[in-house]
Structure 1
Amino acid sequence: MENFLEQMSEILEVDQVNLGDNLEGFEAWDSLATLSIIAMADEEFGVSIVNQEITDAKTVEGLYNLILSKQNA
């Protein structure tokens, strides 16, 4: 999880993210951030996610749980 949080903070251009943080609350939240998350999920976790799933996840924790659930599917 630590690696995931580090990558998310880099994508979202902040020093640190917390599990409860709302994705849309970040200043850097835009289509490029979404594409970066899709690429990160594929490269680092070997799962494919789409924009709508990211939107539905709502929080950093929701996104992490989404990726884990796809890994375990």
Structure 2
Amino acid sequence: MEDFLEKMAELFEEDTVQLTDIIVDFDAWDSLTSLSIIAYVGEEFQKNISAAQIVEAGTIGGLYELIKNN
């Protein structure tokens, strides 16, 4: 979990992120960030997710649950 949070902080250009942080509220949220998350999830977890699923996840914690349950 800690590695995941560190990677999300890096992708969202933040020092830290919390599970309750809302994905679309980050200043760095854009289509490139979405693609970076998709690539990271594919590489790290060998899972495929879509940009729509990322938005639907809502929060960093929701994204983590999506990845774990997908």
Aligned length: 70
Between the aligned partners of 2:63 and 2:24, the Cα distance in structure 1 is 12
Superposition TM-score, scaled by structure 2 size: 0.98
Structure 1 segments unaligned to the other structure (5+ residues): none
Compute the RMSD of aligned alpha carbons: 0.4
User: How far apart are residue 50 of structure 1 and its match?
Assistant: 0.5
Residue equivalent to 2:2: 2
1:1-73 matches, cutoff 5 A: 1-70=1-70
Query: With structure 1 as the length reference, what TM-score do the two structures score?
Result: 0.94
Identity, % of aligned positions: 50
Aligned counterparts of 1:28 and 1:10: Cα–Cα separation in 2: 10
Aligned partner of 1:37: which letter?
I
Runs of 4+ in 1 over 2 A off after TM superposition: none
| 2: CA distance, partners of 1:53 / 1:66 | 8
Could you say what secondary structure the match of 2:21 adopts?
coil
Q: Amino acid of the residue matched to residue 14 of structure 2?
A: V
